[in-house]
Structure formats: structure tokens, C-alpha cells
């Protein structure tokens, strides 16, 4: 018998007991950080989230809108300073990545409310694409500390990349992304099929460099891309390491396999080499475009990535779906 005097049902699974206990915790102070320019029906969504929280007995959330000058970091940091224990972020991968910088190494938990384009972190954490389900997840109480990656003082939660993937992110039309989702990236990829390979040295945890010809090198905290393609099937967000994919399609057949794999959501990627480590340094023979969680950053010849283990608290499903 527990402290409340109630006896758990003998058939109740431990995960169900845990979920029930967490759901009965005290209400949490919350805040919403939203990129209203990337979310259709932003005001209606705000009202929906507020109603769902107050119906569960939680206080009305604080509200922060992102700006062109501050796409989420400052708002998230202010929310934490104001006492928010759960910060709900809605606006796509760029908004989430920016807000994460304001939540690192705090006790506040990130709740990703899918909106905008991409939503790769939500997908990799098992968060449903329905906003009410995402809010219910935050109410359910499941929490986990996940790793983040760091490049040049900037952080990412999904993937960093150098080469073709950054070219694709840079050239994918914004309007097409909003209408066609991951197909916009396929269209962008066709523009760069004839680009030259890069010659890279890849250093993992200070070991001797591996010299490779590649079209792109991706360093991931999680493994799933747009369209369901599992680029790094063994990547886990809370294992204290990063997974590295060196990808070098060499001929038309390889490109067809890759693009068909994206369209059909297969996991096989031709000419892919996968490595693992805590500190990854990629040096190219010439400057390359670079990206963090889909945001293109300054080009460079070096992508120097370190993992920050357990630096971010997130709301996650409880039990087997986690």
C-alpha cells in the first residue's frame, strides 16, 4: 500500500504506475515560445494549449513570441528566469534549436509542440505531430536528460553537417518546404548531384585521422531525417556520444538508391560509413557549407563537434515508446 492508502491494481504494469504517479504531481509553471510566422493559426493554437493546461489544473502559461533578432534563445531564457518549469516551443527545427540554447543546463524541461517545418527532434523523441498530444505528453510528466552537440559555441540537438546536406538545406525553397515538406529537400538535392566531392580528414576522439572522399559528413545526436530516412539507426540522444555518417554516392545508381530510399523511407544508404565518438573533427580540403539542425551557418573547412552529455531536459513519452 502506498502513502495515499491506495493499493495498485495487481495487473497494473510498473510503467503504468509510474505514469499515474507522475500525472498526479503538482501543477507546473509553463511558458510557450512560438514563432508565429512559421505556425499556421498561431493564436488558435495558443488558446488550445492554454485551455488544455488549465483544464488539467495547471496555471495559464506565459507567452513569448520570437523575433527576427531573437529566434528563441532569449525568450526561453527569460521564461526560465520567470520560473517556468516546462517551456513549450513551437515553430520548427530552427526555433527549437534557438530555444534550446536558453534551456541548457537548467532544470526546465523542453516540450516540443510540432509546428513549422521539420520537427526532427520531436520525431526522434517519439512526440506525436498533433499539438494536443504533445501537450498531453508534457502533462504526463515523463522527463529525460538528453545530450546536445556543440560547434563553434553553437548547439544542436539533431544533427550537424558539412557538404551536400548543408547545400540542400540552404537551397530548399521555403515556400515548397511549407507545402511539400521533405520533398523540397529532394528537389534541392537534384541541384547538387554534379558537385565535386570533398576530401576530408575525420578525427574521432583524438585518434589518427581517417582520410575519405565524401559528398557530405553528418554528425548526429539522433538518426532520423525528413521523410523518415534513418540515416544513423544506432544513434541515441542520451548515450553521451555522437554518431558520424560519411556519405559518398559515386555514380547515378547510388544517387537513385539514395533518393528512392528517402521517398520510400528505407534505412539503406549507399556508400555510407558510420563512426562513433564524443569529439569529432572534420577537415575538408576546401571551404564547405555547414548546417546545424537545418540552420545554415558560416561556411568553413572545419566542423569541430563535441557532445555535451545530459545538458537538456526534455518531455518524453513514458514507457516502451520512449
Same domain, 125 and 232: no
State the chain's maximal CA–CA distance in angstroms.
70
pTM: 0.83
Domain membership flag for residue 264: yes
Count how many domains the chain has. Answer: 2
| 9, part of any domain | no
The arithmetic mean of pLDDT across residues 69-77, rounded, is 97
- Bigger pLDDT: 105 vs 8: 105
Of the residues 141, 173, 196, the one at which a domain ends: 141
The answer as to whether 20 is a domain residue is yes
Residue 204, domain member (yes or no): yes
Rg (CA), the chain: 21
Strands (E) across 104-205 are located at 109-112, 143-151, 154-156, 159-163, 198-204
Q: Are residues 187 and 242 in the same domain?
A: yes
**Highest-pLDDT range among 53-67, 130-144, 236-250:** 53-67
In-domain check, residue 2: no
Are 99 and 31 in contact by the 8 Å Cβ rule? The answer is no
Decide which of 108, 141, 174 is a domain's last residue: 141
- Regarding whether 173 and 98 lie in a shared domain, the answer is no
Residues 118 and 217 in one domain: no
Q: Which three cell numbers stand for residue 279?
A: 569529439
Question: Both 134 and 192 in a single domain?
Answer: no
- Give the separation between CA 199 and CA 59, rounded to whole angstroms: 55
Report the DSSP pairing between strands 198-204 and 86-90.
unpaired
Q: Which domain holds residue 195?
A: 154-309
Express each pLDDT in 296-305 by its tens digit: 999 999 999 9
**Does 203 lie in the same domain as 115?**
no
Q: Residue 299 has what pLDDT?
A: 96
In a domain, 28, yes or no: yes
Residue 18 lies in a domain: yes
Spatial neighbors of 152 by CB under 8 A, at least 6 apart, are 297, 304
Average pLDDT rounded to a whole number, residues 8-19: 48
Q: Do both 159 and 302 map to the same domain? A: yes
User: What does the block give as the cell for 131?
Assistant: 499539438
Q: Within this chain, do residues 69 and 129 fall inside the same structural domain, yes or no?
A: yes
Residue 235 per-residue DSSP state: -
174 and 114 in a single domain? The answer is no
The pLDDT of 247-268, averaged and rounded, is 61
In sequence order, the β-bridge partners of residue 160 are 219, 292
Residue 83 has pLDDT above 80, yes or no: yes
We report the CATH number of the domain holding residue 256 as 2.60.200.40
Instruction: Give the pLDDT confidence of 153-169 residue by residue, as tens digits.
Output: 999 999 999 998 888 87
- Answer yes or no: do 189 and 297 share one domain: yes
* Confidence label for 231 from pLDDT (cuts 50, 70 and 90): confident
Percent of all residues in the chain with a pLDDT value above 90, rounded to a whole number: 58
Question: What is the mean pLDDT of the segment spanning 132-155?
Answer: 94
Question: Given a cut of 90, is residue 281 above it in pLDDT?
Answer: yes
132 sits in which H/E element: helix 131-140
Instruction: Work out the percent of the chain whose per-residue pLDDT is above 70.
Output: 75
Residue 43 and residue 130 in one domain: yes
List the CATH number of the domain containing 97. 3.40.50.10330
CA distance 303 to 247: 15
Of 82, 110, 141, which closes a domain? Answer: 141
17 has pLDDT over 70:
no
**First vs last C-alpha separation in the chain:** 28
In a domain, 275, yes or no: yes
Residues 181-186: what's their mean pLDDT?
57
Residues 61, 32: Cα–Cα separation, whole Å: 7
Shared-domain flag, residues 159 and 241: yes
Long-range contacts from 300-305, C-beta under 8 angstroms, 24+ separation: 303/151, 303/160, 303/161, 303/162, 303/217, 303/219, 304/151, 304/152, 304/280, 305/149, 305/150, 305/151, 305/160, 305/219, 305/242, 305/279, 305/280, 305/281
Amino acid at each position: 500500500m502506498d502513502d495515499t492508502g491506495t493499493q495498485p491494481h495487481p495487473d497494473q504494469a510498473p510503467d503504468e504506475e509510474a505514469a499515474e504517479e507522475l500525472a498526479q504531481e503538482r501543477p507546473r509553471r509553463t511558458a510557450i515560445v512560438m514563432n508565429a510566422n512559421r505556425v499556421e493559426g498561431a493564436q488558435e493554437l495558443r488558446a488550445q494549449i492554454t485551455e488544455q493546461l488549465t483544464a488539467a489544473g495547471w496555471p495559464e502559461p506565459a507567452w513569448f513570441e520570437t523575433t527576427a533578432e531573437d529566434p528563441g534563445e532569449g525568450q526561453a531564457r527569460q521564461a526560465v528566469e520567470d520560473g517556468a518549469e516546462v517551456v513549450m516551443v513551437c515553430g520548427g527545427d530552427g526555433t527549437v534549436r534557438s530555444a534550446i540554447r536558453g534551456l541548457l543546463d537548467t532544470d526546465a524541461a523542453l516540450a516540443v509542440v510540432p509546428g513549422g517545418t521539420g520537427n526532427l527532434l520531436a520525431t526522434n523523441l517519439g512526440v506525436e505531430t498533433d499539438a494536443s498530444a504533445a501537450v498531453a505528453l508534457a502533462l504526463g510528466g515523463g522527463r529525460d536528460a538528453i545530450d546536445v552537440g556543440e560547434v563553434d559555441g553553437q548547439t544542436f540537438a539533431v544533427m550537424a553537417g558539412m557538404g551536400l546536406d548543408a547545400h540542400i538545406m540552404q537551397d530548399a525553397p521555403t515556400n515548397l518546404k511549407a507545402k511539400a515538406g521533405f520533398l523540397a529537400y529532394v528537389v534541392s538535392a537534384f541541384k547538387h548531384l554534379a558537385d565535386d566531392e570533398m576530401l576530408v580528414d575525420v578525427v574521432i576522439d583524438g585518434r589518427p585521422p581517417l582520410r575519405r572522399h565524401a559528398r557530405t559528413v553528418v554528425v548526429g545526436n539522433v538518426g532520423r531525417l525528413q521523410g523518415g530516412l534513418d540515416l544513423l539507426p544506432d544513434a541515441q540522444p542520451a548515450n553521451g556520444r555522437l554518431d558520424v555518417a560519411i556519405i559518398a554516392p559515386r555514380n547515378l545508381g547510388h544517387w537513385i538508391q539514395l533518393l528512392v530510399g528517402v521517398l520510400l523511407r528505407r534505412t539503406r544508404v549507399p556508400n555510407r560509413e558510420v563512426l562513433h565518438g564524443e569529439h569529432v573533427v572534420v577537415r575538408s580540403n576546401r571551404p564547405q557549407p555547414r548546417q546545424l539542425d537545418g540552420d545554415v551557418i558560416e561556411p568553413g573547412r572545419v566542423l569541430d563537434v563535441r557532445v555535451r552529455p545530459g545538458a537538456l531536459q526534455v518531455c518524453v513519452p513514458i514507457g516502451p515508446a520512449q
